Structure 1
């Protein structure tokens, strides 16, 4: 690895002793080698830090502030030209960085994404043939499938681009923090490249280490509408609003460039549902 690595891999870790060694080795044995690894310890009380320090990686410890804060700490300390956020209990193909970096360089793209293989159900996985490049908003959003899959781990992102557009994770959000970040990145990118191979393996674990971040805060369901408010603020003046009066309640549909992206459904029983690209991501009972 050079003094100024090309890629910085940011790995948030909270009580991840069972996975951290495999995760670091997964990066170590990549076909592309000019990589720095930053393990952001978010207040672990197990052997996570000890195991991570046994490898030649940068370990930064902080209080238990949540996955968004951990990723932001990684962004502040990363020196690579490109950033990748890797979940500690997932896996990546051995040529993940080589293929995504080649696409980023070839097309001078701010954002490159790959398809994801979902371990729990192959029906959720997407894989096509070829490489797709998009530069207008509609195509970028649809190519990245950011509405239905807002996970940040499938992207390789230019660090300077993130800095220029002040794109970071909102630490006040307890859910959908990936979605808000990914939408801003995809929307703002000069172009998005889709590397169609499923190079990222999303593991489904009953006790996912990332699911443990701020678990107590997740109990505060009153904050579930926060990502929706952030989403609306980011696209301020970019939506047209059309209200439909229905027997069951009211639908409010938000459009971006004539594409229906967000729907708010208010039912007569007081239940409010928010949909991103047809997927219900937030539901809240109004008393």
Structure 2
């Protein structure tokens, strides 16, 4: 039987966590799914753990390391389901996630459903749930159907943007139009801003379905690198091009999105230039390229928000040091 939903799970050196991830998939109350678990050249026993699961719906693949973006794209190409859900290999899903999303997307003929979640961390064998964080949008967004552009506007101005791809249950035909950029860090950021305008409709469901594990060596917790700044250079370049091609009533939205991402560049720039052994000459060149691209109005805006971001995080460090 052809699966109705494809769950794409790239896996790299997660022998400690992949079993828990897959058990959360097997626990789903909706059964017509396939899980494409792609081992991306792991050097540990990740693949061996995956192969201990005998359910025919869990399909394992192995390849040389090509990175998260390319692996996700490969999963989309192989997916047989009408709908796709990305799942990171160290995270978990609530058992009713797929059933609820599938029911909504079929009932209202939607392009996508997005939901909430929470972070959790394990310390000394005890799990701590971090409630009310970044992935809880229930107090800022109304449960309803939006157009993709309307949803993007609402989440940006309500400061409730969740760019993480696993929080979106999406019609496969929409994903074929926009793939992840290979070799890009923070790939979900660019993917999000490319995907939203393509969606005719999206349902926001304020349910905490996604359980994201926090690990010390994850991308969001590692020291800012030159590659991080280079990645934002590509993201902001796309946003600028988008800015110049959208209708005049969308200009304000894209200026706001550029502001948000320049604040992030300010944060990364501050952390990078204060780190030891940083290639500061190359870092300044990349920042100069980011700041100097675009119209005078956009250039001025970027300088202001880069400085705001850098100053904010410098004082945040000073404040924490004083404490």
Which interval holds the TM-score relative to the shorter structure?
Answer: 0.7 to 0.9
1:140-151 map, 5 Å: 140-143=152-155, 148-151=161-164
1:93-137 Cα offsets, whole Å, 9 max, x none, are: 110001111111111111110012233452432325973111262
- 1:216 Cα offset (Å): 12
2:155–2:161 contact (8 Å) kept in structure 1: no
Count of aligned positions: 254
Q: Which structure has the highest helix share of the two?
A: 2
- 1:228 Cα offset (Å): 1.3
- Distance in 1 of aligned mates of 2:201 and 2:96: 22
TM value normalised by structure 2: 0.70
1:173 aligns with 2:184: yes
- 1:140 Cα offset (Å): 4.5
1:281 aligns with 2:269: no
1:1-287 map, 5 Å: 2=1, 4-55=2-53, 56=55, 57-119=58-120, 120=130, 122-124=132-134, 125-127=136-138, 131-135=143-147, 137-143=149-155, 148-163=161-176, 166-174=177-185, 176-208=186-218, 219-221=226-228, 223-224=230-231, 225-238=233-246, 256-259=250-253, 261-262=255-256, 275-276=260-261, 280-283=263-266, 284=269, 286=284
- 1:181 Cα offset (Å): 1.0
- 1:61 Cα offset (Å): 1.5
- Any gaps of 5 or more consecutive residues in structure 2? 121-129, 270-282, 286-323
- Any gaps of 5 or more consecutive residues in structure 1? 241-254, 265-273
Residues 146 and 156 (structure 1 numbering): CA distance in 2 closer, same or farther, change over 3 Å?
Answer: farther
- Distance in 2 of aligned mates of 1:98 and 1:222: 39
- Distance in 1 of aligned mates of 2:117 and 2:169: 13
1:217-254 Cα offsets, whole Å, 9 max, x none, are: 955355131111133334541176xxxxxxxxxxxxxx
Residues 136 and 76 (structure 1 numbering): CA distance in 2 closer, same or farther, change over 3 Å?
Answer: closer
- 1:281 Cα offset (Å): 2.2
Q: Return the index of the structure with the highest Cα Rg.
A: 2
SS at the partner of 1:280? helix
- 1:286 Cα offset (Å): 3.2
Q: Which structure has the highest strand share of the two?
A: 1
